[in-house]
Amino acid sequence: MHVFATAGHVDHGKSTLVRALTGMEPDRWEQERRRGLTIDLGYAWTTADLDAAIAFVDVPGHERFIGNMLAGLGPAPAVMFVVAADAGWQAQSAEHLAAVDALGL
C-alpha cells in the first residue's frame, strides 16, 4: 500500500480531491462536513485499476489545527500537495510547503 498525506492551504480542495480519487468521504465528523473544514485526520483509500492500494491521510489546512496537520504529515512517506486552481499559490501555501520540507517529505 502506498500512503500519501495531503498538504496545502485551507479551502484549496484537499478533501474534495481525496473524495474524487477514492469515492470515500475523508471528513469523519458531521461538524467538518457542515463547515466544509477538516478538523481531524481523515482516511480514504482505493485499489481501483491499480496493482497496489493507495491510501490518503487527509490533514487540516487551518492554522488552528496545526497539531493535527503535523500528526498526519509526520509518519507519511509522501505528500500530495494541493493548490486550488481558482485561488493559486498563497502565502499560507509557502508555510505548508516549509512544514513538509522540514519533515523531509
Q: What is the pLDDT of residue 86?
A: 93
**More reliable by pLDDT, 91 or 35:** 91
Burial of residue 99 (number of CB atoms within 10 Å: 0-12, 13-18, 19+): middle
- Amino acid in the structure at residue 26: P
User: Between 39 and 83, whose confidence is greater?
Assistant: 83
β-partners of residue 46 are 54
Query: Cell 462536513 belongs to which residue?
Result: 33
Q: What is the pLDDT of residues 44-83, one digit of tens each?
A: 999 877 788 899 998 887 777 778 888 888 888 999 999 9
Distance of CA 42 to the CA centre of its chain: 8
Domain count within the chain: 1
The alpha carbon of residue 57 and the mean position of all alpha carbons in its chain are separated, in whole angstroms, by: 6
Percent of the chain surpassing pLDDT 70? 100
- Full domain range(s) for residue 34: 2-102
18: domain CATH number is 3.40.50.300
